[in-house]
Structures are given as structure tokens and as C-alpha cells.
């Protein structure tokens, strides 16, 4: 296998640093969901922790590193979940956190970032504008800039999900991973390709925010002018070249799904699995819905990566 | 501590028998819920597994024992979750399962029992009639009768939740446990009283189905003529003397809550924790709601014991 930026021994070491509350997340078969979709479906559930997403795995590594380096402050751009997780990880360690987010991010995510004691700065634009502003703050204040997917801790943290998947005694054929910046896809993909190369790693992105998938297809960074999707957690426009390079090594496929499939996925996860999730976490189910023949009769794992939704909006989706 | 039917070494041994999919369930702080309730709230989540309740912990022990004894069949009465879990545990081991349930049980529970390959017999009455019928079937067919809470495996399985709670590095003051037949309350209570006696164990039962709580108060079996509650999983009328004896040793308190508090608890678990749960799983939150001063400023653990709800009914509750 071609080399990437990720190394298995670092991923294994990460588990000794991450607070156990984020590790060993549930991994179980959901037969009602499988019966409806025509394949066996297992869920890797990343919402049953204090920040209701997988991002705590990575921010634990970031915060631990900052403390060991004697640093006191960190800034990141976030669609909402990274900022929440970073605020959680930093709070217990006495670190100052600034999170820059779009003012269009779900209110529940913004509220939780504030409640966890981070300074929250909103930009009047999308996630890419928040990224620019975070770069500027880091330069002005001379503090660490945390860049999701580019900074290895975010990928290594997510990769620990992969370790848990390969350690399971249950065999499976495919892992469906939501694709945004690429930290989760490259992290999980790396572990699968090294330790369970027979498992197909399929990344799923909304057709309305396809930059990384298009980049993967064309094997070069492709940016888009807009990102229009309810899956706010993966709505980026400017893929990072280093992350794309890794993704090209570890992902077997990258597919795009329609908004209506994401909404159907949300409904199925509620009705057949009893799970309230955010749209990014329904991308895997959406992929099965759009290409049932591809998955028919196979055992498919979907990583349910986050559950932070504004309930009013959620009720409209599931109505 | 006075002796009960439960022994710590058997509970510890149980973990080597139970399928790991039921063990190591999430245990995490939920700050939004705590903020609303005026205390720190941690959730022990027993819904993220193939049967969406804690009952699999016990049925794994039952099914394993049947196989070791060379038995081929088992019958139980169930409000729905035990039957589902028994069917799951038996299926992989080639055991025949008969479940007797009330025809008023939630349809989703009955459907899942059937889907898992068990024979389902419905009685035109409540859970106590189902228990009578299960006794008759066991006698007629000469097969093992599984009696929830009376049979030690059901208590020992639930008790493994207690082991996971005491092994956590997080300190807490109170554990709230739903009280029905008593398997979960005596199981968890036993472990807490032996290994963390400073933690208060509070059982919570609906005021509409108060038999075991009244029995605990009067220190003798008290039956009731009816059990009227939305918390179908704990709606018994005839407490078992042996279980009551154990409960008197390991429970610090048993409280009753109103139906409207259970519904409020369901709503809070959805809105503040993103969890779809069945009413029995909201009893702990209901107890905090009814006596906030008792819990103010303390760290309270609530065991979210099941998530099997008919969605149409659930929508009416949370509307």
C-alpha cells in the first residue's frame, strides 16, 4: 500500500490519550434497518458521548498535545461539531478556545460551543469564510490554528473508529463513511486498508457539496462555488490537497447522494433504529437507498457520526 | 451487608458469557439535561444494541445455560423486551423460544419478537395473565420457564451494568433505576452496595403501577388490582417475594412518579439528549423532575434501559 500521512502505531497510541468516554462506541446490527434496505446493516454509533459526535476523539489528541507543548490557546473553524469537541477537551485542561463558525450553523451547535466555555466568533458566510477568519486569528494572536482534516490529530482520532471496527468479531463487507474535509474518511480508511483490506471503504458526500468527491474522481483538487446541503457538517468547498492525496490511497470509492435521500435516511434511522441524528450521519443510509443493488445481500457498516440537530428543523425533515 | 440471592463472583463471571455487543454500553455526562434539571446528569445508555434494551445481558446467560444443560426450548412471559432479547440470544444457539405477551404490548415489540424467530402467543389481558400462561406452557411442554427477576440470570445480567458503573473513573452520588419486576434494580443495587456503598440507589416506578414500591415500603408483598401506565415495561401487579427480599437489602429508596412526569422525561431525553426512549427509560428523569431539591447539585446517573416504542404513540407523547 502506498504511504499516506497516517501511521498505524500513532493511531494505536492515540487510544491511550483519548478520554475513554469517546472510545469503544456501540457497534451493532440493526435488523429492522437491514430488512428495509435489503442488506445487513450494522451501526457504529458516535453520538452517545458528551459532544454527540466523533470529533472528541481528535480534539482529545489536540488538547493533550497543546498541554504537552506548553501552549495555552487554540483557534479553529468549525461547522459546529469540531468546535464543541475542542471546547470540551480544552475545558478540563485549562486551555483557551476560540471557535469561528458560520452564523448559519445549527443553533444547537453554537449554543453548546458557548456553553462549554469557548469564545465563539460568527462569520457572515459559509465554512470557508470561517476557515479564513480562523487563520487570521491564529496569526494575530500567535496561537495554534487547528485545521480539521489537515492536522493529523483529527485524522488519527477518527482513525480509532477504524481500530474498533477491525477488532470486532463480526465480519462485514463495506464501510460507509461521511465525507467532508476527509479526516474521518482518511482515518477510518487507513486502518481498514492496513488491517482489513478486503473491506470496501466507500465515502459518501451530498451532491450539493461535492468538492472532495469530484476531487477524488479527478485526482486533483476541485473547488466549488457553493455548497448547498442540509448536511451542514460536510458542507465544504475547498478540499485540502494533502488530505485528498491520502484519500486517493485509502478510499475504494466516493459517491454523491441527493438531499431527498439524506432526508429519507434520517427518517429511517429514526423509525427503524430509534436514532436521532444529524444529516451527515444519514449519508451512508442515503447511499444504500440510491444504489440498493450495489449493497444487496452484503453486510454494510455505516458510521453514525453525529447527532447535533436543531429539533425544530429536525421535526420538519422527519414530518 | 445482609446476604441476597446475588453473588459478585457470579456477576463478574457473567461478563465472560454475554455477547460483547451488550456490554460496555455508553456512560457519559449530558450537560444540557443537567443544566435543565439543576444537577449533573450522566446517562448509562442501554438502547444501542441489537434489541434496544438491557435485557440481552440476562438472556445471554439464560441461553448459554440452556445449551450447557442440553435443553432445547424455553418459554417466557414478556412485556416485550425480555422476549425480544431471549429470541435474539436463542436464535444463534438453535433454541426454540416461545414468548407469551399481552396483546396490548407495543406492536413494535411484538413484531420484533416474531421477526427474531420466536413463537409469540398473545393473551387477552395484562402481563400477569401472560405470566400464568407461560407457566402453563412450560408445564405442558416440559420446557424451561424463564421468569424475569425471579431467575437469577436476569438479575445477574442486569448487574453487569452495575459493574460498568463502578469501574468508571467518574464519581457520582445517585443511581436512578427503573423498577418493574426488580431484576435491574436488585442487580445494579447489589453491585453498588458491595463495591460503591456510598452511592445512593433509588428505584423509580410509575404511581400507576406501584406494586413493588408499595411492597418495598411495607416490607411485604403488596399486589394491586390494576397497573395503569404508559411505561409498559414495568407494569406488573404481583411482586415476587424473593426479589422483594433482595430489593430490601440493596435499594436505598423506591419512589413513585406521575404519568405526566414520565412524558416530560421522554421529551427532555429527546430534546436535551437526542435520545428516543421508551417510557420506562424516562422514569429516572421523571424522579428528578418531581423532587428537584433532593437531587440539586448532585451527580445523578440514570439508566436509560430501553428504546422500543411505537413511533405513532411516541409522536403523541412528545407533541
Record: fold of A56-146? Rossmann fold (3.40.50)
Look at B49 and A35 and tell me if their CB atoms are within 8 Å: no
Determine how many CB atoms are found less than 10 A away from the CB of residue A307. 26
CA-nearest residue to A267 within chain B is B311
Q: Kindly report the CA angle at A313 between A307 and A319, in degrees rounded to 5?
A: 100
Three-state DSSP at A288 gives helix
pLDDT per residue as tens digits for the range A47-56 = 999 999 999 9
Q: How confident is the model at residue B39 (pLDDT cuts 50, 70, 90)?
A: very high
Q: Which residues contact B243 (CB under 8 A, 6 or more apart)?
A: B149, B150, B155, B181, B182, B183, B186, B212
- All CATH 3.40.50.1100 domain ranges in chain B, comma separated: 8-53+152-318, 56-146
Residue B158 confidence (pLDDT): 98
Q: What letter does residue A99 receive in the DSSP assignment?
A: E
State whether residue B13 is helix, strand or coil.
Answer: helix
Share of chain B above pLDDT 90, in %: 99
Rounded to the nearest angstrom, the minimum Cα separation between A31 and chain B is 7
The residues near A254 (Cβ < 8 Å, ≥ 6 apart) are A179, A202, A203, A204, A205, A212, A213, A216, A217, A247
DSSP state at residue B229: -
pLDDT at A183: 98
Closest by Cα among B230, B243, B245, B237 to B283: B230
Distance from CA of A210 to the nearest CA of B (A): 28
- Residue A25 in grid coordinates: 462506541
A–B interface: beta-carbon pairs under 8 A: 64
Beta strands in chain B (DSSP E): 27-29, 40-45, 73-77, 96-102, 119-123, 144-146, 174-178, 200-206, 253-257, 299-304
CA neighbor of A191 nearest in space, from A134, A232, A251, A147: A251
Check A115 against B169: CB less than 8 A apart: no
For residue B77, give the 3-state DSSP assignment.
strand
Is the CB of B52 inside 8 Å of chain A's CB atoms?
yes
What pLDDT, on a 0 to 100 scale, did the predictor assign at position A299? 98
CB atoms within 10 A of CB A296: 11
Round to whole Å and give the CA distance between B120 and B135. Answer: 15
- Residue-level pLDDT at B81: 97
Q: What is the pLDDT of residue B317?
A: 97
Instruction: Look at residues A264, A271, A269 and name the one whose alpha carbon lies nearest to residue A303.
Output: A269
pLDDT tens per residue across span A257-288: 999 999 999 999 999 999 999 999 999 999 99
Quick check: A276 and B276 CB within 8 A? yes
Please say whether the structural domain B8-53+152-318 has been given the CATH code 3.40.50.1100. Answer: yes
Instruction: Check residue B128 and give its pLDDT.
Output: 94
A48 touches chain B (CB under 8 A): yes
Q: How many Å apart are CA A102 and CA A121, to the nearest integer?
A: 8
Q: Determine the pLDDT at residue B42.
A: 98
In terms of residues, how long is chain A?
319
- B275 contacts B16 by C-beta, under 8 angstroms: no
Identify all chain B residues contacting A49, using CB atoms and an 8 Å cutoff.
Answer: 26, 28
Helices (H), A56-182: 56-68, 81-91, 107-115, 127-141, 152-167
A171 has a chain B CB within 8 A of its CB: no
Predicted local confidence at residue A232, as pLDDT: 94
Q: Does B197 touch chain A (CB under 8 A)?
A: no
Query: Hey, is the C-beta of B4 within 8 angstroms of any chain A C-beta?
Result: no
| pLDDT band for position A35 (cuts 50, 70, 90) | very high
C-alpha distance from B293 to closest chain A C-alpha (Å): 24
Longest dimension (CA), chain A: 55
Longest dimension (CA), chain B: 55
Q: What is the pLDDT of residues B223-258, one digit of tens each?
A: 999 999 999 999 999 999 999 999 999 999 999 999
- Contact indicator for B191, B159 with CB cutoff of 8 Å: yes
- C-alpha grid cell, residue B2: 445482609
Query: A28: which chain B residues are within 8 Å (Cβ-Cβ)?
Result: 21, 48-50
**What phi-psi label fits residue A86: left (phi over 0), alpha (psi between -120 and 50 degrees) or beta?**
alpha
| Closest CA in chain B for residue A49 | B28
Query: CB–CB of A243/A150 below 8 Å?
Result: yes
Of B306, B312, B54, B51, the residue nearest A271 (C-alpha): B312
Q: What b/e string do you get for B159-173 counting C-beta neighbours within 10 Å, with b at 16 or more?
A: bbbbbbbeebeeebe
Q: Is B203 helix (H, G, I), strand (E, B) or coil?
A: strand
DSSP H/E element including A8: helix A8-14
Residue range A99-157, pLDDT digits in tens: 999 999 999 999 999 999 999 999 999 999 999 999 999 999 999 999 999 999 999 99
Cα Rg of chain A, angstroms: 18
B268 band by pLDDT with thresholds 50, 70 and 90: very high
Q: Is A219 in contact with A281 (CB distance < 8 Å)?
A: no
Within chain A, all domains assigned CATH 3.40.50.1100 are found at 8-53+155-318, 56-146
Closest chain A C-alpha to B189 CA, distance in angstroms? 23
Fold of A8-53+155-318: Rossmann fold (3.40.50)
- The DSSP bridge partners found for residue A206 are A257
**Rounded to an integer, what distance in angstroms lies between the CA atom of residue B43 and that of residue B57?**
18
Residue A288 confidence (pLDDT): 98
Q: Is B21 on the interface with A (CB under 8 A)?
A: yes
* Residue-level pLDDT at A179: 98
- Give the pLDDT band (50/70/90) at residue B19: very high
Instruction: Find chain A residues with C-beta within 8 A of B45's C-beta.
Output: 48
Q: What is the pLDDT of residues A39-49, one digit of tens each?
A: 999 999 999 99
C-alpha to C-alpha distance for A59 and A56, rounded to whole angstroms: 5
- pLDDT, tens digit (0-9, with 9 covering 90-100), for B47-106: 999 999 999 999 999 999 999 999 999 999 999 999 999 999 999 999 999 999 999 999
Per-residue CA distances from A44 to A26, A210, A300, B171, B227 (Å): 6, 24, 11, 27, 38
Predicted confidence (pLDDT) per residue in B149-191, tens digit = 999 999 999 999 999 999 998 899 999 999 999 999 999 999 9
Amino acid at each position: 500500500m502506498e504511504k499516506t500521512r497516517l501511521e498505524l502505531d500513532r493511531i494505536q497510541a492515540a487510544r491511550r490519550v483519548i478520554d475513554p468516554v469517546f472510545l469503544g462506541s456501540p457497534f451493532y446490527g440493526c435488523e429492522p434497518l437491514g430488512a428495509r434496505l435489503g442488506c445487513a446493516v450494522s451501526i457504529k454509533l458516535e453520538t452517545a458521548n458528551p459532544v454527540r459526535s466523533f470529533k472528541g476523539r481528535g480534539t482529545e489528541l489536540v488538547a493533550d498535545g497543546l498541554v504537552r507543548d506548553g501552549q495555552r490557546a487554540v483557534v479553529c473553524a468549525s461547522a459546529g461539531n469540531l468546535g464543541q469537541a475542542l471546547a470540551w477537551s480544552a475545558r478540563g485542561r485549562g486551555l483557551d478556545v476560540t471557535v469561528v463558525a458560520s452564523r448559519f450553523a445549527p443553533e444547537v451547535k453554537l449554543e453548546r460551543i458557548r456553553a462549554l466555555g469557548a469564545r465563539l466568533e460568527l462569520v457572515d458566510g459559509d465554512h470557508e469564510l470561517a476557515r479564513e477568519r480562523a487563520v487570521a486569528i491564529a496569526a494575530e494572536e500567535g496561537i495554534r490554528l487547528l485545521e480539521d482534516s489537515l492536522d493529523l490529530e483529527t485524522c488519527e482520532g477518527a482513525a480509532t473508529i477504524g481500530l474498533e471496527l477491525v477488532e470486532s468479531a463480526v465480519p462485514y463487507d463495506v464501510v460507509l463513511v461521511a465525507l467532508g474535509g476527509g479526516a474521518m474518511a482518511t482515518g477510518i480508511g487507513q486502518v481498514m486498508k492496513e488491517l482489513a483490506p478486503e473491506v470496501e471503504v466507500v465515502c459518501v458526500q451530498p451532491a450539493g457539496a461535492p468538492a472532495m468527491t469530484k476531487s477524488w474522481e479527478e485526482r486533483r483538487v476541485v473547488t466549488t462555488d457553493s455548497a448547498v446541503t442540509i448536511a451542514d457538517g460536510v458542507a465544504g468547498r475547498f478540499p485540502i490537497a494533502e488530505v485528498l492525496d491520502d484519500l486517493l490511497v485509502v478510499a475504494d470509492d466516493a459517491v454523491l447522494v441527493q438531499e431527498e435521500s439524506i432526508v429519507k435516511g434520517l427518517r429511517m434511522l429514526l423509525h427503524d433504529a430509534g436514532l436521532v441524528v444529524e444529516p451527515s450521519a444519514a449519508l451512508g443510509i442515503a447511499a444504500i437507498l440510491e444504489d440498493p443493488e450495489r449493497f444487496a445481500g452484503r453486510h454494510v457498516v455505516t458510521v453514525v457520526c453525529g447527532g447535533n440537530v436543531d429539533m425544530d428543523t429536525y421535526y420538519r425533515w422527519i414530518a
